[in-house]
Structure 1
Amino acid sequence: MFDSLRRFIRKWRASRDGGHQLDALLAIADRTAPYPERSEWLIELAHWIRRGHAVEAGAAAAGDNAHHSTPTHTRIRYLLHVLDRNPVWKGNVAGILRALLRESDGLSLLCDAGMPVHSGFFGALFERLEAALIPPAPNRRDLTAIVTLMFSSERDAEWIGALPTDLLIRIHALFDYAADEDEQRDTTPFSLDLLAALHNLTCQISSTGLSQTVRSRLGRADPDERGSAHAHRDRDGHAAHEASDVRVAMEKQPFYRLTRAMLAVETVHQAFVAGGPQEPLLHEVNYLRLLLDECRGATDNVFAHLYRNGVSVDIVFQVERMRMRIVRAEHLLNAWMAQDDPHAGARLTAELVNANHASQSVAHLVRSNFSLLARKVVEYSADTGEHYIARDRAEYLKMLRMAAGGGLVTVVTVCVKFAITGAHFQAMFEGLLAGINYAASFLLMHFLHFSLATKQPAMTAPTLARELDGVGTPAGVDSFVSSVTALMRTQAAAVLGNVLLVFPVCFGVQLLWHALFRANIISPEKAHATLHSFSLWGPTPFYAALTGVLLWSSSLLAGWADNWFVLHRVADALTYNRRLRMTLGAAGAERIARFCRANVARVVGNITLGLMLGLVPAILTAFAFSFEVRHVTLSAGSIGVALGVLGKDALKLPELWWAVAGVGSMAILNVAVSFALAFYMAVKSRDLRRNAVRSLRGAIWQRLFRHPLELVWPAKAARAAR
């Protein structure tokens, strides 16, 4: 069956000239060949168009606008030029193209190409990896499979959408060249395929929109309208009016009216084909456009409801796929109404090729899922992060006091950490104990309203992301820059408050311990090893950056926990729990629900951060590479203990000052890495373009040059107000 194609491939490989390759390819085109052979021929033709060698200058210049064309357009122009000179070849090529549309399932391409199938990330990932390893066979009578094999590059949509008018006219003419009566009788007009695809899509959109998942999140009818409906029913007293109320309520849903509008378009279209006037058809099409626009607005309302009341991946998947179907229906409708415009078909083809490629791209899957995760985490960390930004002098001084309290608690954490490491437990058990120590300290700081400096950036970046919504105006940019400046100032205050308290107190605790018990918290050898491990000349900066990643990861888990709590309405379940109400009373159950709602994110974040700081180094050291936690506050306290053990002679040791420099690098990298990752996620959640991010960065630098002292001390209220 494929002997002629194999002969062609051998002949093509032996040829060096692009024109000779095309001649060899066109010479074996056979409109009567079996479907798989014709499909493979088309795939090879598409490869020549996309990757063919340069054609002869004289032949490529055929056509008035050839000098304005891209290389791909030039090859298509040369192809049409060769076909015009060889009517037999042209008839075979035209017959193959018509047979492809006649014998392949086009609805799969028009309706399903680019539409996600799996709601889970790993299910979609495995599906795309499988498709990459096992591409579709050319004998599948599926237009999506042929398009996948013909256009495998993401750039194909660009040159298809940019095809010039003269080439589009000639390509359309090629499809109709030398068509016999049998072909015309058996071929379904493309307009009917578009209409069938529109019907399919509107049914799918309506089905999803009327499901309980979406319907319950669209909002309820206007109370005044419901009241007037009830009054109307009471006045007449007939059961028929109840059904009428139901119909009125359903008519308010655009998803309910969408399918009926599509049926009306089909009915009027049949009358128009039979010779009816065009005005009713235009009226029905415009009404369908209006309903599609209303459905798009309804999906925005669903997303707004989700972000207020908890995000479910499955629900977001359904609503996002419904939105994609709405956009696809609009594209099909535009192409159907502009059949006389050759560019309409090119735009639709480019959109289908682009969507089909995106549905098979692993990179696109990662980007889309990361954007969804970013939006999910950002929305539920913003309220928490606002707590960590000091915008005036009163809040600034309050942050200093909170940071000092956090440093005081860290003193105990450092001493317990040295006790755990001094016991020389097995590495994994030691990591578990260290994680419990860190988690307990972080929880104590939280409930005492103290602050740990490096925990703030991961929580405050989402707050800044919320302000990104207003950066389209000068006032919004100024507000965003003010928040960034306040954040930098707050971070400096928090780090300063932590370190200035934890270092001298740890130093004093070591001296007091030695005076009372005639012993040191750690041995002199351990003190020297501690200073050496914190040296700037070593892995300290790398470890500090990885610690910043752990700080950022804890904010993800905190955002997930807050979202889960809201999505499943755990607060309501606690408020109305029968046993809690019987034991504590209604007011007590409500207080517990409010307490859990206010603290769930921070408690989960603190516990997970503590356990990660203890266990992740042990796990990575055992299975991957050596890693130790380098946290600025904990390390500053450790240096204080080591200095107390070594005494004033340690001031002459270079390793002490290199360790101090290492702690400085920890302060920068802990904060910078965790904040950068969180802010990157925030930017991705807003789909902000690079130019906008670059302009914001410039605005921040301008503010710092104009008012550098704002980094260390808040401006007066009057200036802040301006």
Structure 2
Amino acid sequence: MFKFLLNPWRKWRASRHASHQLDAILAQFAPTRSLAERNEWLIELAYWLRRADRPAGATSTSWRYARLRYLLQVLENNPALAERVGQTVRSIVQDNDPVSLLCDTGLSSRSGFWGELVDRWQARFLPPTPNQPQLAALFALLFVGPHDAAWVDGLDDELVTRLHALFRTGLNDAATADTEDAAAQTRLERSLGISIQILVSQVRATGLSRAIRTRLDHVDVTDLPFYRLADAANAIFLERPDGALPSPEQIPQQLNYLRAVLDQCRAATASVYQHLDENGVSVEVVFQVERMKAWLGRIDLLLTAWADARASRRFVHLTAELVSASQHRRSVGYLIRATFADLARKVVERSAETGEHYITRDGKEYGAMVKAAAGGGLFTAATVYIKFFITGAHMSRVAEGFFASLNYAASFLAIHFAHFTLATKQPAMTAPALAHRLDQVGRPEGLDRFVDDTVAMIRSNAAAIAGNLVAVAPVAFLVQWVAGHVFQSHLISTEKAVATIDSFSILGPTPLYAIFTGVLLWASSLAAGWADNWFALHHVHDVISYHRRLRFMVGERRALRIADFWKRNLSGVVANVSLGFMLGLGPEIVSFFGPHVEVRHVTLSTGAVATAVGVLGSGVMHTAPFWLAVAGIALMGVLNVLVSFALAFIMAMRSRNLPRLDRWRITGAVLRRIVRDPLCLLVPRAPTESNPPGSTSTPA
């Protein structure tokens, strides 16, 4: 039974790269068959060509074309077969519409990101059928390999010439061949012109849409290059009522004018990005701008081919670009990466503005960080005791998680507005600030600045953790000591104290829970960046400051002060509230749908252990469970910081598409600095000359 079920699965997997033998494929050639049958025949031939196994000892890529050379040799040695093949290929090209291939392949058909995402998901499971008279559908079925575009682009002149000769095979005489070539040339030029006009109309419509137009500096719409684009293209490609076309003498001048307008459209598109940088990023606007850039790039590609339609090498490159675009069109991951790169960059830059405040570069800033962290530790001690009271109430898990969320959120907001700090929140904010320096690492002074800031970030986090723990541990212990010795009452039971110490053991699931907490810390920084971006994108500051009823109630100056308050504090409020609810309700939600998880936050856990020591007495410090808990808390702090920093830094680097080689070079520079001067991680150092104190120069 098992073998009966396994055999179909093996056949299905093997069929992915299977193909018929060449003699069986060539025997099916016939130009009189239906279009679907001819398309299927060409698809099978493409699968046979793709089965190129690399010979042992081969050092060049010429082996990839061995099957193509063998096919051409077989056809050249068999004129009758070559004639039948040539007629069939010509009929396939003539009966399939090329316009969709030229102006649609690889370009988004939807006006919004989510609609395009759904289309691509459908395309992954519902490929086009070979009975469609569209070259775009045929291309999607012919070229399915990841290296097909490079294979096409690597065709040498000798192979291109032989393929062109095969395409002409079957034409009776030179006069007929010339006539057929001229007709094919005219059809190709006309298809290129129609495709360019279609793309121009799409660029014009998008460029003049409200989403794009309102983000441009021009007041008069007629001054926009998108408005003039259609006239510039029609002067070349639009057929007159009398059938006349521009004279050969006029075409170069009109072509240069069209290219100039296209350059102006690209410059206008760049100004939209500048507006987004200043006023917030929208996924839909980024998608539309990226789609318009792709259209402009395709117009340039088609214009180059149209300007010299007889240059075979240009058409080889055009075909390779269309193959690559067709494959990208089917890729869901490519769409997500391309669309969200700018959004991620903007969210990262918003977080970077906050992260700059958490990096200490001299002794004064270092001391201020320790004091602020100590203040955060005091608030955290109160949070720990309130959390004990909540768990002692024995409510349902959801209710307990909700009240714990309120406790955490209120505590974190109090720390924020008191201008104190919580150490584990810093890495997710400081990582984007470091990534902001990545634009300059190509220069020696930029690399020095990045290394200086990396070391300062590590030192700042160490100072913040030390400040938190130095305050939370003695305060939590002292409160319990006073309660036990003065009021003769423990704030938590002895059993609860023992269970608390045991729960933080390094030998238990503490490391996994600490990693989960690091992910939540990073997620809260994303929420903060998104909120700040939303505030800027929708001009909420202006909405509040000019709100009519609010002005009547508090006056114009107070309305402006309220708007300024939210502009300064929205990201902080969202970060702290979201982190509080993630720490409180996040474990309950995850545990409901999956494995049981808990929160392990180094500062809160230290306060809990200090409270347990106050209940059990100093004798517990001589036991193994206590020191296992200490080791667990130490690892917990490392994992909280490391995971949240790593996730934020990886996202920041991906938003800048930094090459892997540069990543290794940067990592090596940081490690060399630490090995040369390990104490720089604990004691402030004078920055390098290229990175003066407080330097916040923008990337070049």
Provide the residue aligned with 1:547 in structure 2. 517
Structure-1 separation of matches of 2:342 and 2:111: 12
Following superposition of structure 1 onto structure 2, how do residues 427-506 of structure 1 map, counting pairs within 5 Å?
A: 427-506=397-476
Structure 2 residue aligned with 1:261, among 226, 232, 252? 232
Amino acid at match of 2:149: A
Amino acid at match of 1:451: T
Q: Deviations over 1:615-667 (max 9, x none)?
A: 01112222211101010100111110111111121111111111111111111
- SS of 2:486's equivalent in the other structure is helix
Amino acid at match of 1:551: L
Specify every segment of 5 or more residues in structure 1 that has no aligned partner in the other structure, as ranges. 1-12, 58-65, 222-245
Q: 1:317 to 1:54 in 2, by over 3 A?
A: closer
* Kept after mapping to 1: 8 A contact 2:287/2:339: no
- SS of 2:97's equivalent in the other structure is coil
Structure 1 residue aligned with 2:628, among 651, 654, 658? 658
Provide the residue aligned with 2:93 in structure 1. 101
Structure-1 separation of matches of 2:462 and 2:76: 74
Count of residues in Structure 1 that have an aligned counterpart in Structure 2? 669
Q: Deviations over 1:6-36 (max 9, x none)?
A: xxxxxxx9xxx99x92122112200111111
Provide the residue aligned with 2:40 in structure 1. 40
Provide the residue aligned with 1:377 in structure 2. 347
Specify every segment of 5 or more residues in structure 2 that has no aligned partner in the other structure, as ranges. 1-13, 694-700
Provide the residue aligned with 1:577 in structure 2. 547
User: Is 1:610 aligned with 2:608?
Assistant: no
Provide the residue aligned with 1:225 in structure 2. none
> 1:700 Cα shift?
1.2
- SS of 1:100's equivalent in the other structure is helix
Structure-2 separation of matches of 1:121 and 1:263: 30
> 1:220 Cα shift?
3.4
User: Is 1:50 aligned with 2:42?
Assistant: no
Structure-2 separation of matches of 1:209 and 1:515: 75
Provide the residue aligned with 2:325 in structure 1. 355
Q: 1:506 to 1:119 in 2, by over 3 A?
A: farther
User: Is 1:420 aligned with 2:394?
Assistant: no
Structure-2 separation of matches of 1:195 and 1:23: 40
> 1:298 Cα shift?
1.7
Amino acid at match of 1:210: L
Following superposition of structure 1 onto structure 2, how do residues 163-562 of structure 1 map, counting pairs within 5 Å?
A: 163-179=155-171, 187=184, 189-220=187-218, 250=222, 252-266=223-237, 277=248, 280-562=250-532
Amino acid at match of 1:213: A
Structure-2 separation of matches of 1:69 and 1:298: 42
> 1:260 Cα shift?
2.1
Structure 1 length-normalised TM: 0.88
Q: Deviations over 1:377-428 (max 9, x none)?
A: 1132221121211122221111111100000000000000111111111011
More divergent stretch after superposition (103-112 vs 672-681): 103-112
Provide the residue aligned with 2:3 in structure 1. none
> 1:68 Cα shift?
5.6
Structure-2 separation of matches of 1:146 and 1:717: 61
> 1:325 Cα shift?
0.6
Provide the residue aligned with 2:619 in structure 1. 649
Provide the residue aligned with 2:659 in structure 1. 689
Structure-2 separation of matches of 1:675 and 1:665: 15
Q: 1:52 to 1:93 in 2, by over 3 A?
A: farther
- SS of 2:218's equivalent in the other structure is coil
- SS of 2:489's equivalent in the other structure is coil
More divergent stretch after superposition (122-131 vs 549-558): 122-131
Structure-2 separation of matches of 1:129 and 1:276: 47
> 1:275 Cα shift?
11
* Kept after mapping to 2: 8 A contact 1:262/1:288: yes
Structure-2 separation of matches of 1:270 and 1:162: 43
Provide the residue aligned with 2:643 in structure 1. 673
Structure-2 separation of matches of 1:120 and 1:660: 52
Provide the residue aligned with 1:30 in structure 2. 30
> 1:689 Cα shift?
1.2
* Kept after mapping to 2: 8 A contact 1:119/1:313: no
- SS of 2:109's equivalent in the other structure is coil
Structure-1 separation of matches of 2:170 and 2:349: 61
Structure-2 separation of matches of 1:428 and 1:100: 65
| Aligned-residue CA RMSD (Å) | 2.7
Amino acid at match of 2:214: S
> 1:369 Cα shift?
4.3
What is the percent sequence identity of the aligned residues?
A: 48
> 1:267 Cα shift?
6.8
Q: Deviations over 1:201-233 (max 9, x none)?
A: 122112211222212212136xxxxxxxxxxxx
- SS of 2:655's equivalent in the other structure is helix
Structure-1 separation of matches of 2:287 and 2:425: 32
Structure-2 separation of matches of 1:697 and 1:423: 49
* Kept after mapping to 1: 8 A contact 2:448/2:688: no
Amino acid at match of 1:683: M
Structure 2 length-normalised TM: 0.90
> 1:277 Cα shift?
4.5
Amino acid at match of 2:152: I
Provide the residue aligned with 2:7 in structure 1. none
* Kept after mapping to 1: 8 A contact 2:452/2:688: no
Structure-2 separation of matches of 1:143 and 1:133: 20
Structure-1 separation of matches of 2:601 and 2:559: 39
Structure-1 separation of matches of 2:38 and 2:28: 10
> 1:269 Cα shift?
12
Structure-1 separation of matches of 2:61 and 2:648: 44
- SS of 1:517's equivalent in the other structure is coil
Provide the residue aligned with 2:10 in structure 1. none
Q: 1:493 to 1:594 in 2, by over 3 A?
A: same
- SS of 1:387's equivalent in the other structure is helix
> 1:183 Cα shift?
6.2
> 1:45 Cα shift?
0.6
Structure-1 separation of matches of 2:658 and 2:306: 34
Provide the residue aligned with 2:151 in structure 1. 159
Amino acid at match of 2:40: E
Amino acid at match of 1:453: A
* Kept after mapping to 2: 8 A contact 1:272/1:281: no
Structure-2 separation of matches of 1:121 and 1:615: 31
Amino acid at match of 2:39: S
- SS of 2:555's equivalent in the other structure is helix
- SS of 1:686's equivalent in the other structure is coil
Structure-2 separation of matches of 1:378 and 1:543: 26
> 1:552 Cα shift?
0.6
Amino acid at match of 1:105: D
More divergent stretch after superposition (424-433 vs 341-350): 341-350
Amino acid at match of 1:260: D
* Kept after mapping to 1: 8 A contact 2:501/2:612: yes
Amino acid at match of 2:62: T
Structure-2 separation of matches of 1:179 and 1:557: 67
Structure-2 separation of matches of 1:253 and 1:220: 7
Q: 1:148 to 1:166 in 2, by over 3 A?
A: same
Structure-2 separation of matches of 1:101 and 1:118: 28
Q: Deviations over 1:587-611 (max 9, x none)?
A: 0100000001111111011101000
* Kept after mapping to 2: 8 A contact 1:307/1:379: no
Structure-1 separation of matches of 2:278 and 2:555: 29
> 1:271 Cα shift?
13
- SS of 2:296's equivalent in the other structure is helix
